[in-house]
Amino acid sequence: MGLRLRSGVWYLRKNIGGKRVEVSTGYPAKQRPKAELAATKIISRLLDEHHGLASKADDDPVAAPTFGAYADTYRAVFSVKKSRPQRDEAILRWWKAAPVGKAATWANTPLDVFTPTMCEAALKHRREQGTLNPNWKDQRAAVSESTVQRERGLIQAVFERAKADRIITINPFENIDKEASEARNRILSEADEAKVIAAFNGLKPAPGETVGRGARWQRFVEFVLQTGLRLDEVQSIEPRDRAYRPGYLHVHGKGRKRRTVCNVCKRVGGKCRDVVLTTKAQQILDAQWAEEGRGWTQHESRYREVMLKAAQRAGILNTESYPHDSLSPHDLRHTYGHRFLQRGGDIFALSKHLGHSSVQVSEKHYAYLSHDDVGAKVLAVMEPQTPKPTPTPKPKRTHTPKQKGRTTRRR
């Protein structure tokens, strides 16, 4: 039959008139019988087109798979390569239940039926909903636009993969403009930083422990403020990461769906980079390994919980210096970037240090600082200060020696 399994989907590979043709049947690995039936009809159509004959009327056309079925194939093939496949699962679960008309949902709607209008309606419905988890205690009236656009990116990728598999000819999201969203900047001042660190003092020991873990969280806060690393980058630190290059830390960054192997640490996936460590950051790492014999390996939800409770105890939430209702580990990363630029750092160097994919990502998060810098430079050029006149130096007095001889007195 010439069926080949590629990326979890059956493809028909056949030579037609001396030319190799490879066409997707649109069916996943578990549906080989349907893929064989579809391949038979595809071969008949290709032969008719090659000999110049009109295509036969197909009484039983191969129907496009539904969004729910193809989304499951996409998740099984592509989502598993990501660092957080459960996030794709939660997003797809919500979009499968999104309404289409009065009775239908996205899950039971064929892929070739979707139109840009249906996608716009689904995006509007998503903006009106709360969090993805219906059992979440703190339901919000609306989600942020950045969250909606992040989910839209995944759904658009599903349709784009279906287009590459020749299941559909047009991606319904292609002509929908992507709404711009501003990055949320939660910057911690040095005074609030001292309050948060002090809030960890006197923490009670966890069950099964004899000593409180306040010092661990203090070291974590100070380390992120000294390096600007992401939470998952901090969690993946190993002792060998400091041995590759003295004074630096070899960081295993984002991009876990990449199947490349790092030449230094031999880890699979992710974009590794070397991050320079300040003297204080090196001391913090030494203290953490000496105290616990390991780095910070707790679950990510534990970090967010601890940071939020510490900010509540410190009393910094919804204040003039910090007008926000939460504090997360990623806010410490933004604080590092803010301080780096305020102290005269370069945006390009910051982008490389933080591991951003491009300088544009850094400019998006720290555009407000760039605007201030540009404004100061414009005023310096267009409104130069009038230089003060240089005072003219007074001539030095020269001593004239007295002449020897008679002097006449005036009578």
Q: Check residue 268 and report its DSSP letter.
A: B
pLDDT for res 293: 87
Give me the count of residues in the chain. 411
pLDDT for res 59: 47
Interior angle at CA 102, CA 96 and CA 104, nearest 5: 35
Q: Check residue 113 and report its DSSP letter.
A: G
Task: Give yes or no for a contact between 369 and 338, defined as CB atoms under 8 angstroms apart.
Answer: yes
- Token pair of 236 as six digits: 């993946």
Neighbours of 172 (CB within 10 A): 22
pLDDT for res 150: 87
R_g (Cα) of the chain, nearest Å: 33
Element (H, E) at 121: helix 116-127
Question: Which among 97, 152, 94 is positioned nearest to 119, based on CA atoms?
Answer: 152
Spatial distance between the Cα atoms of 239 and 134, rounded to a whole number of angstroms = 41
| Cut 0.75: pTM above it | no
Q: Check residue 263 and report its DSSP letter.
A: T
pLDDT averaged over 10-residue windows placed end to end, the chain, 411 residues: 81 85 84 84 82 58 82 84 78 90 87 91 86 54 78 92 87 83 78 93 70 84 94 90 91 70 81 91 93 87 90 92 89 92 88 89 77 67 67 67 58 52
pLDDT for res 175: 82
Spatial distance between the Cα atoms of 32 and 310, rounded to a whole number of angstroms = 55
pLDDT for res 9: 83
Spatial distance between the Cα atoms of 390 and 131, rounded to a whole number of angstroms = 68
